[in-house]
Amino acid sequence: MASRTPNTVSIAGVDPSGGAGVLADVKAMSALGAYACGVICALTAQNTQGVTGIHPVPVEFVRQQIDTLFADVKIDAAKIGMLGTAAVTKAVAEAMQKWSPPQLVLDPVMVAKSGDELLTKDAVASLREALLPLATIITPNLPEAGVLLGHRGPETLKEMARAAEKLRRLMSDAGNRWVLLKGGHLPASDAIDLLHDGDKMIELPAKRIDTKNTHGTGCTLSSAIAALLPQYADVPEAVRRAKLYLTEAIRYSGALDVGKGHGPVHHFHGLWGKASPDRER
């Protein structure tokens, strides 16, 4: 493990309810021992039930936020989430090339849990062409994988493996580049994710937890990975620990009472005491 507290940054949108986006990322990173910074790429009017509005941050101000932060703070890992537009996506990609953080986690956020679109269609090509090649690890779910590959999302574990291989080929040819393809959309009692580096295909199963509190799970997992990558040299180990953290955050989500829709996970389940995970909301 790293001896110094790592500095991490979430480059994403803001969810005012705190269940997803930069606020959720900062919680997860902090809970896992990293110092968390944030760059805001989009503002949303959002709660646990849906998104009612999106307001992009001006491109030049996104660029200024990144340049100002990286000029002063040694960033060990960056997590990229909701970018919103093609112009912002391109600006973030250029900034990542300029500053080259040691670890870059890309969560290709396209659709909210409520079904609301969070990434414009013209931004998908920019994300695929400009950001994927820079990432240490990408963390798409099955629908996002389908969009990135230009066809329907995988519907079986075998199709997931083929999709993971295709996604890995979109990334840099350099070593230590990984795809974490999340299998939560498959209809099975176990949610199996696949972790692939172009050679190894590692299955990462997890028991499903019966709860509606799944708002921001993708944001939380990717930011947990960003927090742990500087602390563990082995990528699979960092991902396994991040998945365990998310599983427990989901398990203890019932200890919170936030909103009437898909509630958030409990980012601080390990720090606030072990309240009952089964409390009725």
Catalytic center residues = 182, 214, 216-219
- Parallel, antiparallel or unpaired: strands 77-80 and 103-106: parallel
Q: What are phi and psi of 83, to 5 degrees?
A: -110, -30
Residues in the chain: 281
Helix (H, G, I), strand (E, B) or coil at 84: coil
Q: Which pair of tokens denotes residue 275?
A: 């309240």
Helix (H, G, I), strand (E, B) or coil at 254: helix
Find where tokens 């921001």 sit.
Answer: 216
Q: Which pair of tokens denotes residue 66?
A: 């990144």
Rounded CA gap, 218 and 253, in Å?
A: 15
Q: Which pair of tokens denotes residue 278?
A: 């089964």
Rounded CA gap, 111 and 221, in Å?
A: 16
